[in-house]
């Protein structure tokens, strides 16, 4: 794209954005998804060994990398924004007389259209690999990497469907459930399966916080600092004195994972992230207003955010598979993640992963956007939620928000 076309796109996106739109919310959603993508690329290794490929994590070999999980485990921010947008959207839909079913279908549609494409492609790919004689262990490893992120969509969809019920639920209630479950599991020897209650309760905490924000809960800097400092202090105490893992993602071989299922430490850490998100709102609003090019990048990313999330592991695996054609294991791509050299090599591979992801997004983003809608008002409202379809202008260049 030429500079002139790029400037024209930036101008059109900025002009099409309604004056009342909170650009910072879109930025937080984009940052949350990019955090997950970069986190997976940094802590997931595919090691080629004796004709098979198996997964490994540098966190298991290099504990000093644990702070990486603090930076890139950003799902709480996504649930915070999701709760806010869903609560506002449902209230707006009720005011217009839209039924709950129609509202839910519109919000869920954009989530699951791209899922169908991923499942179709990987069903064919897995069958082809097995038919070609690829080791079943290798196929299992690759398919697990593709399918494992889908748990997030299932939980998010369930919470979205429950929005009318939880819109007025105080975040302290699901937090109390998480605390009770952890006390029973780790303090009183209750069965480990009890922890799966926290899959819903744990992510319900930031989701309810977002819903409470939508109905007028103070979102001042004081609230942000209280959540950030309180959540950080609670997480540090749980790690230092209660035996919780320091990593905020799962580490292969570790007896306890903070994320699978979520623990109290993961939830308090998420509250700290929510506090940081509140503190970033003002600076992000000012930055995105002053920098139309940056806002255009955020807006366009939000148009394909689910496609990015669903295909980022495929992009990494495509680069890894292509690298095997070089004739030997490549550092940072096929080698064991057991030293600083692997880390430096992996950082060098990140731009290649990003380029492969861009190809995937270009090929499959249409499944997320769906068909153009004639009703600009409806499309604008659904686009504001970041979930449903967004209209496409006649020029073919996507304009995410119309006046």
Looking at per-residue pLDDT, the higher value among 139 and 385 belongs to 139
Task: Choose the weakest-confidence range: 66-75, 115-124, 334-343, 360-369.
Answer: 360-369
What are the pLDDT digits (tens) for 1-24? Answer: 677 888 888 888 888 888 888 899
Q: Is the pLDDT of residue 372 over 60?
A: no
CB–CB of 2/387 below 8 Å?
no
Q: What is the pLDDT of residues 225-258, one digit of tens each?
A: 999 999 999 999 999 999 999 999 988 888 899 9
Residue 79: pLDDT band (50, 70, 90) is very high
- Measured in whole angstroms, the distance separating CA 374 from the mean position of its chain's CA atoms is 30
- As a three-state string, the secondary structure of the chain is CCHHHHHHHHHHHHHHCCCCCCHHHHHHHHHHHHHHHHHHHHHCEEEEECCEEEEECHHHHCHHHHHHHHHHCCHHHHHHHHHHHHHHHHHHHHHHCCCHHHHHHHHHHHHHHHHHHHHHHHHHHHHHHHHCCCCHHHHHHHHHHHHCCHHHHHHHHHHHHCHHHHCCCCCHHHHHHHHHHHHHHHHCCCCHHHHHHHHHHHHHHHHHHHHHHHCCCCCCHHHHHHHHHHHHHHHHHHHHHCCCCCCCCCCCCCCCCCECCECHHHHHHHHHHHHHHHHHHHHHHHHHHHCHHHHHHHHHHHHCHHHHHHHHHHHHHHHHHHHHHHCCCCCCCCCCCCCHHHHHHHHHHHHHHHHHHHHHHHHHCHHHHCCCCCCHHHHHHHHHHCCCCCCCCCCCCCCCCCC
pLDDT of residue 383: 40
- Taking residues 61-85, what's their average pLDDT? 93
Q: Is the entire prediction scored with pTM above 0.85?
A: yes
Going by C-beta distance under 8 Å and a sequence separation of 6 or more, which residues neighbour residue 140? none
* pLDDT tens track for 128-168: 999 988 889 889 889 988 988 888 889 999 999 999 998 88
What is each CA distance from 115 to 91, 107, 291, 309, in whole angstroms?
28, 14, 33, 10
> What band does 401 get if pLDDT is binned at 50, 70 and 90?
very low
């Amino acid at each position: 794209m030429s500079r002139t076309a790029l400037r024209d796109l930036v101008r059109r996106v900025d002009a099409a954005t309604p004056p009342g739109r909170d650009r910072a919310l879109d930025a937080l959603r984009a940052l949350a998804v990019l955090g997950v993508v970069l986190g997976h690329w940094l802590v997931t290794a595919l090691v080629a060994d004796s004709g098979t490929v198996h997964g490994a994590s540098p966190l298991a070999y290099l504990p000093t990398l644990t702070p990486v999980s603090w930076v890139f485990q950003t799902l709480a921010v996504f649930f915070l924004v999701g709760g806010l947008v869903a609560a506002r959207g449902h209230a707006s839909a009720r005011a217009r007389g839209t039924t709950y079913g129609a509202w839910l279908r519109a919000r869920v549609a954009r989530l699951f259209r791209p899922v169908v494409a991923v499942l179709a492609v990987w069903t064919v790919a897995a069958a082809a690999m097995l038919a070609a004689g690829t080791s079943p262990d290798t196929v299992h490893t690759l398919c697990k990497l593709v399918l494992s992120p889908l748990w997030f969509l299932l939980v998010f969809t369930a919470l979205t469907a429950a929005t009318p019920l939880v819109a007025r639920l105080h975040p302290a209630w699901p937090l109390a459930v998480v605390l009770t479950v952890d006390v029973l599991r780790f303090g009183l020897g209750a069965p480990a399966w009890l922890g799966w209650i926290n899959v819903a309760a744990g992510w319900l905490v930031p989701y309810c916080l977002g819903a409470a924000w939508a109905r007028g809960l103070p979102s001042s800097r004081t609230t942000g600092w209280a959540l950030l400092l309180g959540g950080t202090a609670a997480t540090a105490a749980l790690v230092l004195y209660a035996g919780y893992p320091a990593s905020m993602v799962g580490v292969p071989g570790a007896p306890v994972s903070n994320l699978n299922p979520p623990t109290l430490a993961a939830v308090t850490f998420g509250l700290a992230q929510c506090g940081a998100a509140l503190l970033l709102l003002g600076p992000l609003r000012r930055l995105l207003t002053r920098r139309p090019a940056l806002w255009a990048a955020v807006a366009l990313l939000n148009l394909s955010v689910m496609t990015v999330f669903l295909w980022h592991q495929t992009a990494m695996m495509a680069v890894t598979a292509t690298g095997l054609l070089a004739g030997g294991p490549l550092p940072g791509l096929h080698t064991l993640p057991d030293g600083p050299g692997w880390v430096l090599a992996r950082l060098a591979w990140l731009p290649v992963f990003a380029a492969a992801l861009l190809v995937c997004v270009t090929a499959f983003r249409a499944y997320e956007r769906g068909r153009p809608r004639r009703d600009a008002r409806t499309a604008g409202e659904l686009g504001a939620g970041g979930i449903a379809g967004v209209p496409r202008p006649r020029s073919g260049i996507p304009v995410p928000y119309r006046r």
